[in-house]
Amino acid sequence: MPNLDELMAAARNVQEQMAKAQAELDRIEVEGMSGGGMVRIRATARGQVRSVQLDPSLLTAESREMLEDLIVAAFNDTKAKADNAGNAEMSKLTAGMQLPPGFNLPGM
């Protein structure tokens, strides 16, 4: 059985790895879109939206409701991709770690 010093060192190591993984999630960018690319949203793997691009043809009074729907759809597409990228990055961190059943690290 590991002693307390070994457990504390392992915990510090996990904290350092978590901090590195969180920083990496800020660097990974994903792009979601809707309307065949007429609405594009870029975000980090942590879900921070970086940009929204709208096709100029959508910027009319008559297309307001459709534009709102397309923005929602593009955001949801981006969020799903950000979640997938984040989960993939975090699974690299937990690879080989034997966690008790039902135990998740923060951010997962």
Q: What are phi and psi of 57, to 5 degrees?
A: -65, -15
Q: Decide if 58 is inside a domain.
A: yes
Q: What tokens does 62 get?
A: 């008559």
Mean of the per-residue pLDDT values for the chain? 85
Q: In this structure, is residue 71 part of a structural domain?
A: yes
Q: What is the pLDDT of residues 56-74, one digit of tens each?
A: 999 998 998 999 999 999 9
Q: Does the residue 66 lie in any domain? A: yes
**Band of the pLDDT at 108, cuts 50, 70, 90?**
very low
Q: Give pTM, 2 decimals.
A: 0.69
**Chain segment 23-47, per-residue pLDDT in tens:** 888 899 999 999 999 999 999 988 8
For residue 25, what pLDDT is reported?
A: 87
In this prediction, residue 103 carries a pLDDT of 57
Give the CATH number for residue 46: 3.30.1310.10
Number of domains in the chain: 1
Nearest CA-CA partner of 43 in 53, 54, 58: 53
- Domain presence at residue 27: yes
Q: Which domain holds residue 12?
A: 4-94
